[in-house]
Structure 1
Amino acid sequence: MACNHSARDCPDSVTAHRLMQQYIDCDAATCPAKGPAFRFLVAQGEVCPDDRSQEYAR
C-alpha cells in the first residue's frame, strides 16, 4: 500500500533513524520518506536488510 508522504532529505544517520521511527508503519519500498532513509542507513552499514528485502537496496 502506497502512502502519501512527501520525500525527505537524509543528511545524516540521526535524521535517517528518526525518519525510520516516524514512518514505522510505512513500507520502505513505497514510502517516499522512509525509502531514502532506509537506503541511506543501508549504504552507511547501519542497517543490514535480510535476503528477502534486496529490492530496498536499489
Structure 2
Amino acid sequence: MSSSTTELDWFKSSYSGGGGGECVEVAIRPDTVHIRDSKTPQGGRLTVSPEAWAAFIAHI
C-alpha cells in the first residue's frame, strides 16, 4: 500500500447496505480503485484495477 492512500477521497459505495452494518467505501483514481470497510478505515484495504472493479460490480 502506498502513502497516497491516505490522501484518497473516500465515499460510501452505493452498493452498500442501508442498515449501517455493511458499508464499503471506495476511492477511485484513474488507474486504481481502493476499497475498504468503513467500520475499520485504518484496517486492510484492497486495491484493484478499474477493469476488475467494473467486472466485480457487474456480477453483484
For Structure 1 versus Structure 2, the TM-score category normalised by the shorter chain is: under 0.3
Give me the TM-score of the superposition, normalised by structure 2.
0.21
Q: Which structure would you say has the larger Rg?
A: 2
The structure in which a higher percent of residues are helix is 1
The structure in which a higher percent of residues are strand is 2
